[in-house]
Amino acid sequence: MLREAVRRRAASDGDPDQAICERCDAAPVRATHHLTYERVGREDLDDLLGVCSDCHEFLSGKAENDPLHLRAVEAMDEVEECTRSARASWMHGDGVGHARPEMEAAAFAARVAQYRMLRWAAATAELPVTATSIWLLQCPGDATPALSLAWIGRFSEVDRAFAGFSQRRAG
């Protein structure tokens, strides 16, 4: 019953079948991870985290590579690829019309990379990751955050769409 409550918490619409990983926010919940083993058998809801298979493998020490870190690197690679493509269009004399969409794609990928890096940093500090924990990480001192709380909330959906974006560009 507690595992079902974790899945409901991880689902934006409350449907446990639609639960998304509370760590990476990118893949379906496939496991329940213990944040503490102090109360095994009598856990509180806050002791558990709904996670995808990749995050569970990493959190359990069975995988070396952090899937959140890999997702950030993937977005940074996409920024580089889009920028290279725009530069090639510009250098070959195709003009702004051909370079501009690639530069817009690079800017979009850069924001996704920023979100993913912040999400990774938040996940290394505290679980579950929240929009507020991500927002606070980008505000050292009196700095103005690049991403607002509202945008961070939207990036959860945008990030999932981005995963298909790079695949469509390659195909």
Domain boundaries, the chain: 2-59, 67-170
Task: Give the whole-angstrom CA distance, residue 145 versus residue 136.
Answer: 8
pLDDT at residue 102, rounded to an integer = 87
Show the CA angle centred on residue 72, arms to residues 21 and 115, nearest 5°.
Answer: 75
Task: Kindly report the backbone phi and psi dihedral angles of residue 45, in degrees, each rounded to the nearest multiple of 5, phi listed first.
Answer: -55, -40
pLDDT at residue 162, rounded to an integer = 65
Give the tens place of pLDDT for each residue, 8-19.
778 777 788 888
Q: Which two tokens stand for residue 128?
A: 């579950």
Which of these, 72, 100, 74, 75, lies nearest to 86 by C-alpha position? 100
| Residue 72: pLDDT over 70 | yes
| Residue 166: pLDDT over 70 | no
Q: What is the pTM (predicted TM-score) of this model?
A: 0.72
- 54 falls in which pLDDT band (50, 70, 90)? very high
Give the tens place of pLDDT for each residue, 77-119.
999 999 999 888 888 877 777 788 888 888 888 888 888 888 8
DSSP code for 143: P
